Structure 1
Amino acid sequence: MHAVAARGLPVATELLQPMLAPYVDDLLSWVAIGARTTESQLHRELASDLSAAVGFKNATSGDVQVAIDAMSAAAHPHQRFAVDAHGHPIVQQTVGNPHTHVVLRGGHGEPNYQVQHVRAATTALHNAGQNPRLMVDCSHANARKDHRRQSEVMLDVLAQRQAGEANLVALMLESHLFEGKQPLKPGAMRYGVSVTDACVGWETTEHLLKTAAERLA
């Protein structure tokens, strides 16, 4: 992470384990709180303590309100269990983080990136007095668990942005050096292939990023 940041490229990650944050948070420009942890009070308190922008994913059910509630909780100060610079346990006062937003990732195998979903999410955010800007996760349920469908999700979101939907401000792609995924089998691993979710390869990633740059120029 330090080497990437030193090259001037912002670093982003999902923080699954709150106790990891003190070791890496000064290297992070953006943090994801996943669909299964957005509802976790520990992760909401963590988000309130970060200086990085934080994206809360909607729940695996597709419920966006969970992420909106998380934004509200993260905006307020909290007292949370943490560690100091020497690794000692402390109770820390957070200041609250106003730089949060929702990440639409679909739910229960159904997408939520299309026009009607985006409008419903922005309306709910406006009604809650929250930041209406959205990121779309092109993978997971939005791609119906097929990594090759990430491109059609991205192109749809780009078309919405070009049509004037200014609240769509970011995209997330699941990408690795080579396409697909593989099981963890010691001694039989393929270099550069994901061991978790299936990903698009580097060539596809490059093509998609260039396409986005051209269409949004």
Structure 2
Amino acid sequence: MTTFHIENVNVTSFETMPTPESLHAQLPLTDAAGNAVMQGREALRNILDRKDPRLFVVVGPCSIHDPVAGLDYARRLKKLQEEVKDTMLLVMRVYFEKPRTTTGWKGYINDPDMDDSFHIERGMANARKFLLDVCELGLPTATEALDPISPQYLGDLIAWTAIGARTTESQTHREMSSGLSTPVGFKNGTDGDIGIAINAILSASHPHSFLGISGQGKVSIVRTSGNRYGHVVLRGGDGRPNYDTVSVAMAEQALQKAKLPASIVVDCSHANSFKNPDLQPLVMADVVNQIRSGNKSLVGVMIESNIVGGKQSIPEDLSKLVYGCSVTDGCVGWDTTEKMLRDADAVLRDVLPGRLAR
């Protein structure tokens, strides 16, 4: 009998991952972490349902690469949350997976040692440990769902999920979102098309059946009930911002036409700041001013922030990395972050009582 070399022609090996169930057993959800997740999700749902007038702020490093610096940042953010809790819900941005147009570092899960060794099994465990540490501080967390398998490992520690501009149009990510336990923000396309995000919200709100894995690591048919907490994230596109009053009004009209709630989040980074982190405070101030002027559809903002502002390239000698500085997109530094949030708090205190009025 002739043997044909047909399957896996370009695959060099298969390595077994620990199952989600076994990783959960190794790093179990604690009472403190579980309470932070549940309270964060409830607060986010209440904001989206207009039961809570506050603004939610997804703020933190563009990506996590150093868990020590990341936890340092989380402690600072927790302290600031107590200061602004009456006007804002702070959700720490904890991104482990980075989509790439061509090549580049793919994130802490994929390559935790930042040397192309790709110890994904260790990266996944490290990511879960980091999320546990942050949640145990009492901070809710947010992440981007890129790999459709990762939520089985980490989803119990996430309060808010983003679907990125490159994946909002993906059927796989729309189906996955329909089963996520968190509210989900869908970004407009890289060309600025908001219709892609609206279609994603509609799709994710319906039940789906698709292939995935179970907690035991078995390939399974995943059947979902649909997620009614999808919303739009405006991140600009095609080199142009879309957080201005005209763009927001057009987004409101598009959502109304689709018979969807007018819930809009503005990403202060990416094309909205022309990828210049120094412009993020201006975007934030504009959003807050729109709320002060009576806008009720703006429910949240995203800020790329770190201990040290700017960004750095990954050196061959990792000991030369600048502590608390991004290795992906540029971020605002901690001092700027504090000022952005304190300035917003000062304005919103007088405005929020009227936001729930019909």
Checking the alignment, whether the CA contact within 8 Å between 1:174 and 1:199 is kept in structure 2 is yes
CA distance in 2 between partners of 1:68 and 1:37 (Å): 13
How much has 1:52 moved relative to structure 2? Answer: 0.2
CA distance in 2 between partners of 1:184 and 1:40 (Å): 30
Partner of 1:193: 325
Letter in 1 for 2:159: S
Residue 120 in 1 paired to residue 250 in 2? yes
SS in 2 for 1:119: helix
Relative contact order (C-alpha < 8 Å, sep 6+): which is higher?
2
Q: TM-score, normalised by structure 1?
A: 0.98
Checking the alignment, whether the CA contact within 8 Å between 1:105 and 1:136 is kept in structure 2 is yes
Partner of 1:10: 140
CA distance in 1 between partners of 2:239 and 2:309 (Å): 21
How much has 1:214 moved relative to structure 2? Answer: 1.3
Report runs of 4+ in structure 1 exceeding 2 Å deviation: none
How much has 1:7 moved relative to structure 2? Answer: 2.3
CA distance in 2 between partners of 1:175 and 1:139 (Å): 10
Checking the alignment, whether the CA contact within 8 Å between 1:100 and 1:131 is kept in structure 2 is no
Written as runs of structure 1 = structure 2, the 5 A alignment for 1:31-180 is 31-180=161-310
Deviations 1:33-62, CA, capped at 9 Å, x for gaps = 000000000100110001100000000000
Deviations 1:85-123, CA, capped at 9 Å, x for gaps = 122211110110000100000001100000000000010
CA distance in 2 between partners of 1:15 and 1:181 (Å): 23
Deviations 1:156-198, CA, capped at 9 Å, x for gaps = 1100001010000111001111111111112132121111100
CA distance in 1 between partners of 2:343 and 2:178 (Å): 35
Letter in 1 for 2:170: S
Partner of 2:345: 213
Deviations 1:4-50, CA, capped at 9 Å, x for gaps = 22222111111111111111111111000000000000100110001
Letter in 2 for 1:174: E
- In angstroms, what is the RMSD of aligned CA positions? 0.9
**Where do 5+ consecutive residues of structure 2 fail to align?**
1-130, 350-358
SS in 1 for 2:304: coil
CA distance in 2 between partners of 1:177 and 1:80 (Å): 40
Larger gyration radius, structure 1 or structure 2: 2
SS in 2 for 1:73: helix
Letter in 2 for 1:54: V
184-193 vs 43-52, greater mean Cα deviation: 184-193
Q: TM-score, normalised by structure 2?
A: 0.60
Letter in 2 for 1:13: T
SS in 1 for 2:231: strand
Letter in 2 for 1:212: A
Partner of 2:59: none
SS in 1 for 2:238: coil
CA distance in 1 between partners of 2:176 and 2:343 (Å): 35
Letter in 1 for 2:348: L
CA distance in 1 between partners of 2:153 and 2:264 (Å): 28
CA distance in 1 between partners of 2:264 and 2:141 (Å): 19
Letter in 1 for 2:183: A
